[in-house]
Amino acid sequence: MITVAGFNTAIDRFIRLDALRPGQVSRALDEQVYPGGKGLHVAQTIAALGERVQLIGLIDAAHRNLIGRRMSERGVLFHGIEISDSIRHCLALQEAGGQMTEILGQGPLLSEAQRASLLLDFRRSVDESELVVLSGSLPRGFPPTTYAELVAQVRDVGKRCLVDASGIVMRHALQAQPFLIKPNRDEIAELLGRPVDDLSAAIDAAAQLHGRGVAMPVVSMGALGAVVADAAGVWHAELTLDQVRNSVGSGDCLLAGMAVGVKRRMPLDQVLRLGVACGAANALADETGFVERRTVEMLLPRVRVQRLTL
């Protein structure tokens, strides 16, 4: 079993339009609504790859059936903590040329009792899990040290913890030395205080994170692929796609693939290969943050993986 703490569940709205014209009327060409949030994306992708997974997150009355039914259909055991306020809404606008604009909702401010309910479900779920993933932003009301504290709790019971976060939450989590972290290009630049614009910089960044106590740091670089480091060295993987339909959530799917690879104790290069194939599979589909297993299996042989020199 893999447990995913994706506390800040959301409703994702994906809209295609000819062009986004600020201050003017823009008409949608196509609109889709999905249950979302980074943790939800991770959990449903893990399930698509055939692993048992449970997700802990928020739910409200308006979307209880939508999210609960979708998770059940996709094989995710969902522990939804219901709140009276609305969960957050996120909007992705894709123009005809491919340019993407994302607007991420703020979400509810949780009470002490609501925060305690999420954490209680988390602790119960860890007991029956082999691997734990902390994914996405924290709902308002949680201190920025929350992920760091959860990493320590997971490590204290002898299990591995993977973290995907940003800003001060990631900075605190890094100090707790989780097994794996997965910053993207912007997040790693913020974390290290310098640009990470090319493969060489990503290699240096991954090596530096490993030197700071992260056993398996991953740096995702969009079209440049991803880099991962461990005690034995650094690997890079990439996959060129002829067409991208929706890249939102590809980083979440990459993390999900790597979580499955870690859980199955695959060699590091194959862990990275699976992750990159999952990220690419998401980019080929319409839905945000979800892959089909057959697409991943079709892409796996096309992923180029190479060992790098520091």
The phi and psi torsions of 143 (rounded to 5 degrees) equal -70, 155
pLDDT band for 191, please (50, 70, 90 cuts): confident
For the chain, percent of residues with pLDDT exceeding 90:
76
Q: What is the pLDDT of residues 233-274, one digit of tens each?
A: 899 999 988 888 878 889 999 999 999 999 999 999 999 999
Ramachandran sector of residue 214 (left: φ over 0; alpha: ψ -120 to 50; beta: rest)? beta
- The amino acid occupying position 226 is A
Task: Tell me what pLDDT residue 286 has.
Answer: 82
Q: Which residues pair with 234 in a beta bridge?
A: 229, 308
- The amino acid occupying position 271 is V
What distance in Å separates the CA atoms of residue 98 and residue 49, rounded to the nearest whole number? 28
Q: Which residues pair with 13 in a beta bridge?
A: 33, 91
pLDDT at 310 over 60: no
Mean pLDDT of all residues in the chain?
93
Task: Tell me what pLDDT residue 159 has.
Answer: 95
pLDDT band for 309, please (50, 70, 90 cuts): low
219 three-class SS:
strand
What distance in Å separates the CA atoms of residue 184 and residue 95, rounded to the nearest whole number? 23
Helix-helix angle 250-263:268-284, to 10 degrees: 150
Quickly list H helices, 104-236: 112-127, 146-156, 167-175, 185-192, 199-211
Task: Tell me what pLDDT residue 40 has.
Answer: 97
Q: How is residue 297 annotated by DSSP?
A: H
What distance in Å separates the CA atoms of residue 202 and residue 222, rounded to the nearest whole number? 12
Query: Does the 2-18+29-308 domain belong in CATH 3.30.300.30?
Result: no
pTM of the model: 0.93
**Which residues, in sequence order, are CB contacts of 79 under 8 Å at separation 6+?**
54, 55, 56, 57, 121, 125
**Which residues, in sequence order, are CB contacts of 136 under 8 Å at separation 6+?**
6, 7, 8, 37, 38, 39, 164, 165
**Residue 41: which of 237, 279, 295, 297 has the closest Cα?**
279
Q: How is residue 10 annotated by DSSP?
A: E
**Residue 67: which of 111, 8, 108 has the closest Cα?**
8
Q: What is the pLDDT of residues 11-52, one digit of tens each?
A: 999 999 998 888 888 888 989 998 999 999 999 999 999 999
**Residue 53: which of 3, 6, 8 has the closest Cα?**
3
Locate 269 and state its tokens.
């290069």
User: How far are the Cα atoms of 116, 121, 155, 201, 278 from residue 146, in angstroms, in the given order?
Assistant: 12, 15, 14, 29, 28
Domains of the chain, by residue range, sit at 2-18+29-308
Asked whether the CA dihedral 281, 227, 198, 221 is positive or negative, the reply is positive
